[in-house]
Amino acid sequence: MCLQSDERNDLLCFGASVAGPLHRQEKKGRQDAWLAASGSYGVVLVVCDGMGSRSKSRFGADVACRAVRDAIRAHAHAGRAYVPQLLRLIHSLWSVRILPAAADDCATTCLFAAVFPWGQLVVAQLGDGMAALANPDGTLAFVESSERVFGNVTTGLGIARSTAEWAVLTRDVFSPGSAVMLATDGISDDLRHDSVMEFIAHVIAEYSSMPPKRRSRALRSELERWPTPHHLDDKTLAVLWNRRGAPTCG
């Protein structure tokens, strides 16, 4: 949806999305979507994966990205993040904006990270994919749902029965040197948990100092050359990094 990077003070958002080999072969568009945005409400990064069996999955993913951004914007006046209310607002905005389409036809996973003006970080995940927070001390926190997923069956907007199906991680402060990675299952399925920190470090070191247009092209190229050749899914990767104290970053 929104192939761009966003910068706000010390925070850098960037990402890329490519169609998987199967969709390229069938000459179909991506069902993934992503968005990065910033403003007086803070910074928000969203990654969504429209469910392939649904007829309007890409539309559902696009709408989900905008719904998260607008929910964050509406919530930013509160002075702190009231996560249950925020999630309910996302569901409400998405449900209204897909009309007259049916929710099941537009089902999509949804992952997002938001840094509010008062410094609070919220990372949330509904459905499969990966959301991970890399801390400056070298530790890694995954946003993982207690809901079990079997085979290709996952939850998402249009499927979830309540906001309790979201997994959420919050921090009072998004510390300097911290980074959040959001990825659809076209990437996360191929990443071992013990390799994620190294992968995030690689992405930041390789791409963060590039000018935005060059960075977008280079990251898309890397995703198109993904080293697991028979992985057929679309691939979307996005990073939010607090680069404070990192003078090498352009």
**pLDDT tens track for 198-210:** 999 999 999 999 9
Question: Six-digit token pair at 246?
Answer: 């990192």
**Do residues 193 and 142 touch, judged by C-beta distance below 8 A?**
yes
DSSP run (H or E) holding 236: strand 235-242
The CATH number of the structural domain formed by 6-242 is: 3.60.40.10
Confidence of residue 13 (pLDDT cuts 50, 70, 90): very high
Give the range among 59-63, 171-175, 227-231 with minimum mean pLDDT. 227-231
Q: Among 22, 17, 3, which Cα is nearest to 233's?
A: 22
Q: Are strands 167-171 and 121-126 parallel, antiparallel or unpaired?
A: antiparallel
pLDDT for position 186: 87
In tens, the pLDDT along 28-55 reads 667 899 999 999 999 999 999 998 777 8
Domain boundaries defined on the chain: 6-242
pTM more than 0.85? yes
In the chain, pLDDT over 70 holds for what percent of residues?
Answer: 84
Give the range among 47-56, 116-125, 189-198 with minimum mean pLDDT. 47-56
In the chain, pLDDT over 90 holds for what percent of residues?
Answer: 66
List all residues 6 or more positions away from 55 whose beta carbon is below 8 Å from its beta carbon.
105
- Report the DSSP beta bridge partners of residue 181: 132, 239
Q: Answer whether residue 12 shows pLDDT above 80.
A: yes
In tens, the pLDDT along 136-154 reads 999 999 997 655 444 455 8
DSSP run (H or E) holding 87: helix 83-97
**Do residues 149 and 49 touch, judged by C-beta distance below 8 A?**
no
List all residues 6 or more positions away from 63 whose beta carbon is below 8 Å from its beta carbon.
94, 97, 98, 106
pLDDT for position 250: 27
Q: Answer whether residue 109 shows pLDDT above 90.
A: yes
